[in-house]
Amino acid sequence: MLLNDELLDDLQQKAVASERLRMNLDLRTTPDDQSQRMLNALEPGTKLPIHRHTTSTEVVVVMRGCMDEIFFDDERREIARYRLDPSVGNYGLSIPQGMWHTIEVYEPTVILEAKDGAYTPLSPADTL
């Protein structure tokens, strides 16, 4: 699969049409693949709860667009904010295992996400 403008444009059109204002594309070889790799198209206004991944780090790379990755402590206080914008040379970051985080999207954005291990849904204890 070629990751090109045509693919990203199509994914962003699906995000616009989605009630959640986001759409992902699974890049795993099979559902049994023991890693998580996906493209995620995000529109301004999409809501992602503050959450954490207790068994994995998460790597986020912005392929196009602009967004903030926001880190929180256990009391929901913001402790760090990172602007990810490839037009200024800020391409991505690694989110440490167990770090509470969410995003704020400023313009139509497509990210590449990667996490360790097979997909498991977030538990209620891993969302704030």
Tell me, what CATH number does 23's domain have? 2.60.120.10
In a domain, 14, yes or no: yes
Using the predicted structure, report yes or no on whether residue 31 has a pLDDT greater than 80.
no
- Chain centroid to CA 93: how far? 11
| Domain total in the chain | 1
Q: What's the chain's average pLDDT?
A: 95
In a domain, 38, yes or no: yes
Using the predicted structure, report yes or no on whether residue 128 has a pLDDT greater than 90.
no
Mean pLDDT within 70-85: 97
- Give the burial class of 48: count Cβ atoms within 10 A of its Cβ; 0-12 exposed, 13-18 middle, 19 or more buried: middle
In a domain, 124, yes or no: no
In a domain, 121, yes or no: no
User: What pLDDT does 33 receive?
Assistant: 84
User: What pLDDT does 121 receive?
Assistant: 84
User: What pLDDT does 109 receive?
Assistant: 98
In a domain, 126, yes or no: no
Q: Percentage of residues in the chain with pLDDT exceeding 70?
A: 100
User: What pLDDT does 34 receive?
Assistant: 85
